[in-house]
Every structure is written in structure tokens, then in C-alpha cells.
Structure 1
Amino acid sequence: MTIAPDRLPPAVSEFFSAAIYDDSLAFSAGKEKYSSRPIRFVDVSKGTQVGTGHSFLNKAEVDTALQCAISFTRESLPFKIVTPFEAQRLAIQRGLEAAGLAWKDVCYTVKTIQGLDAPYIILSVVQTYSPGFLNDFGSTVTALTRFSKGMLVIANRFFLTEDSVAKSSLLADMAKVFRQGGWIDPSVLTGPAFSAGSLFDGDDLESEITDPDSESSVIEPTVWGEEPTNTGQDDFGWDDSPGATWG
């Protein structure tokens, strides 16, 4: 797997260098000013993944993604939305269109975003009770490396930190490392004074959810080895093709 480290903010390149490359990933650390908080997490605790056909949908995350899209659009922040599941992608795209927002070439699945990027990424995880694509190392890396300035991750905090498999994923490690200020409550996104740009500039938000261990020292990410080998059985839960076995 190849990561383009100079496309990512330096702090994110450092994370992947430690997590995947044994601190050997070379990148330029100061070619321009980067955000002090390149990755933020929104806790959609009331959302639940629901099976639909060969795919999954999380309606609460759809609503949150749309609210984020409205804010990004209002502030002219170029973005794309990424999610593992086609049902979720389609629901978000339809929501953008209904809201009168730009929707063409905005929403992608983890598969279709490969080779593309944007200054800002909104990632809707969807999963709340099965690890799904988080079990697929290559797909997770693809989802987490599509941005150059900032990424907003919409997920269920309890699932990502307490599920026996999900809490050992690369995304969970990223949540531990980039946890400055804690997880954000979705209600913040609808406030009259909310600014999408403020998410990444280091300002604290009044309604942030504090991480229980946020005062402890920085947690080192799990060191990942080579990608797990796919045995031929599609058990990762992110493949929307007919006949897939959902994880």
C-alpha cells in the first residue's frame, strides 16, 4: 500500500509513519501552514446501522453529514463526503440535492474515492455494531488519506472505543491520537455561531464531549504490520456487491 505523505497534513503523515511504516515514512513537514487540528470526531450516539439490501444505512449520520455539508458550503470550504456503503452515499447525495446544495461529484464510497482527494473530507463511518470495513486494513487507509487540510469523522463514539474489534482498528487509534478537545456533540453543528473552519483551527467548542482520559499523555498508535490477506471470503462488510457476506 502506498500513501502520499506530502498530500496530508504533517501530523497525519507522522501518525501513519508510526502506525504503518515504523517511523520511516519520509515527508515534508513545513511546506505551508497546516491546521493545528487536522482531524475532528463527531459523536452520533443515537445513530444505528440498518441493513438495506446488500448495504447499510445510518440515518442519524446522514443528517449530521448534511449539516456539515451546509456549513462547509456556506464557508466555501471545498469538500467531498466518503462512506463505506452505497446506501449511505446515495442517501447523503439525495439529501444534498433536496437541500439545493452541489451534489454531483461530492459523495463517494471508499471504493470510488480511490485516486481522488479534496482539501476537506467528511467521513461517515455508519457502523455501530459490526466492524465492517474497519476490518479491511487497505480500505480503512484509503478512507483516512483522502484529504489535504482537514477531515471530519462522523461515528458512534461508544462503538469505536468499546467494541472489541473496532477499538483495535486503525481509525480507533487515530481517534486516540487526534482527540484534542474530545469528541464533538452534533448539536454544536447547528448552532448559530458555528463555523466549520473553527473545527480545525484549534478553538475549543463549548459543547464538546470530553474524553475520559483526555488528560493523560499521548497514546501511541498500534503498530500495524502488513495488510491482512483476504482469504477469498468477503467478510469485511463494506463490499456492496450482490452476494457479499456482511461483517
Structure 2
Amino acid sequence: MERLLLGSRVILCTLSMLSNNKISTITQIVPVQTIIFDEASQIEIGDYLPAIHLFGSSLRKMVFIGDDKQLAPYGHSDIPQLESVFEKQHLRPKIHFLDTQYRMPKPIGDFISEHVYNKKLKTNHSILLKTCCRFVNVLGGQEEQRCKSWINEKEIQAVVKIAKILQARRKSFRMITPYDAQRSAIEKALKDAKLPWEDKCFNVDSFQGTSCTVITLKRSSHMAGNEDDYIIVSIVRSKKLGFLVNERRVNVMLTRCRKGMIICSSRAFLDGIASESLIGGLAARMGRRSWVEYEQVLNGNFPMI
């Protein structure tokens, strides 16, 4: 094992792998002194205990990198009491907040800062126009339950047409939707349209990437997780808020684009039932000029961002 390590002092692995017996031959040669946990806001506190127990004699520092305004620990929707390390009040004074993001265009970044980060998140980006965010008014799009998930057939058509337009213009893009049934349906529609479909469409949870100073970093400067130049979003729901009540997940969905975002929903839904949601607020901020009619998209008349 020492020959295989070639003098390396850094181990990259999952948190669960640290508790696996197979790694013990490595940790005997490289004592664990510092552990850096990425996406720490998604880890329930009890999940750290095995690592602390196993390496307590050599461990000197634990660093937690994450964003408590994005995805919560797995199971939080069923057990709201589940906490990440960021929710512990006695540790919060030790947080270092990285206050500048470079990913999102300024109109989107400023909105997210105001409504999610208490106006503390600054934006450094060259795109300043509100046209970086477009909303497609999918009239007649209806939510339909599919097993325990949801789909919206008209939004699938709109998303695929937008993908075709962006592909023709040689733009780099990906798609996000809150519901796995919609994700699967979009993938199939992309295949049928002979468009790139692998590594293109994701649900929100899969798209967010992955002496002792207890917390040394709270990530916001580069915004954690996956991204692309253009992000196409399919909201799916048309009658009830559903996923949109979870502001942390919606925050993930709205913070993935580097150049532009296209959101498929209906104006009636975002101006009505969803008007108080984070995404409804974004639609209001971007204004009427950000809306594009469904028929324009079908005709290929989609304004450039």
C-alpha cells in the first residue's frame, strides 16, 4: 500500500468510505489529521460520528464546506428536526461567509441575494440585462400525476423545442425539473427528437453537485454544484405549489446558469397561486418583457438571451 500511495498525503473518498474496513490499510500509513467535508449542509450530524470515533486519536481539524440555503440533509422533508452542522447555533459564529458569486448573471444573482441571502451575496458578472432570464408561457399545460411523481406534457414539448433551438445555435445547455417522472419523459422526448439526451436532464437533488475550527467555510462565492451556460427549467405543476414550497430546493434550481435561464410554466400560475413563491417573485422582478409565448417557441421564434 505504501508503494501504491507513492508518498501521497491526501485521500479523496465519500464520508461512508471512511468507515469502510478497506480504507484502514491506507489510514494506517496516512493518519487522518484533517477532514474536509464538501456539501456539508446535506449531511446529518450523526453521520460524522463514525469518522470522529475511528480517527479521534489523530484528528486535529474538521472543515465543513456547504450552503445551508441549499439542499438540506437527506430525509429532512420527512423529519424536519434533522440538522446539518450549519444549523447548530453555537457553531454559527465560526462561519466564514464567502460573499461574492461569479456564476449567475447580475439580475438573477441580485434577486437571489435579496430573497435568500439577506442581501449579503454580491455578484461579479458581465451580464447585466434582465433578458438573461426568460419565462415561457405554456398555456394549457396541465400537471398530471404519474405514480408518485408528476408530469406536464405541454412543458415537455416546450423544453424539447427550446433544446432544439439552443442546439442549432451551438449553445451549451442542460435541463432541470423538480420531478423524476418529468425528467424521464423529457429524456425520452429528446431521444425521439434525435437530440443529445445523455447528461442533459436532471432532477434538482441530483444537480447540486457533492485546536479545532469547527466551521471554516460557508460556500457562496462560486455556488456549489453543477452548472451550464444555459439552464432550461420545467416547473411541471399548474394547480398546486408542490415542490415550490421548498425554498432551499428552488434556490438550487435557480442558481445553475452561467449565461441565461429559460423557465417553462404559465403566467397565470406564477402570477397567481405561485406568486408568493421564490420563482413567482423572480418572474415579477424580471417583468412582463421577460415572457415569451408558447406559440413563439413552437415556431422557432425564440429571442436570444
> What TM bracket, shorter-length normalisation?
0.7 to 0.9
What's the CA shift for 1:167?
Answer: 1.4
What's the CA shift for 1:190?
Answer: 2.7
In percent, how many aligned pairs have the same letter?
A: 28
Larger helix share, 1 or 2: 2
Structure-to-structure mapping, 1:89-238, within 5 angstroms:
89-114=183-208, 115-163=225-273, 166-191=274-299, 194=301, 196=302, 198-200=303-305
2:177/2:204 contact within 8 Å kept: yes
For 2:304 and 2:156, how far apart are their aligned partners in 1? 19
1:34/1:149 contact within 8 Å kept: no
Unaligned residue ranges in structure 2 (runs of 5+): 1-67, 71-99, 209-224
Residue of structure 1 aligned with 2:162, choices 68, 75, 82: 68
1:9 aligns with 2:100: no
1:40/1:153 contact within 8 Å kept: yes
For 2:290 and 2:270, how far apart are their aligned partners in 1? 14
Cα deviations by residue, 1:185-207 (Å, 9 ceiling, x for unpaired): 11111335x2x5x331xxxxxxx
**Greater length-normalized contact order (CA 8 Å, ≥ 6 residues apart):** 1
Change in CA separation of 1:182 and 1:78 when aligned onto 2, cut-off 3 Å: closer
Residue of structure 2 aligned with 1:85, choices 173, 179, 182: 179
1:50 aligns with 2:144: yes
Change in CA separation of 1:182 and 1:11 when aligned onto 2, cut-off 3 Å: closer
**For residue 212 of structure 2, what is the aligned residue in structure 1?**
none
| TM norm structure 2 | 0.60
Cα RMSD (Å): 1.7
What's the CA shift for 1:36?
Answer: 4.7
Unaligned residue ranges in structure 1 (runs of 5+): 201-247
For 1:33 and 1:55, how far apart are their aligned partners in 2? 36
For 1:97 and 1:89, how far apart are their aligned partners in 2? 13
Larger Rg: 2
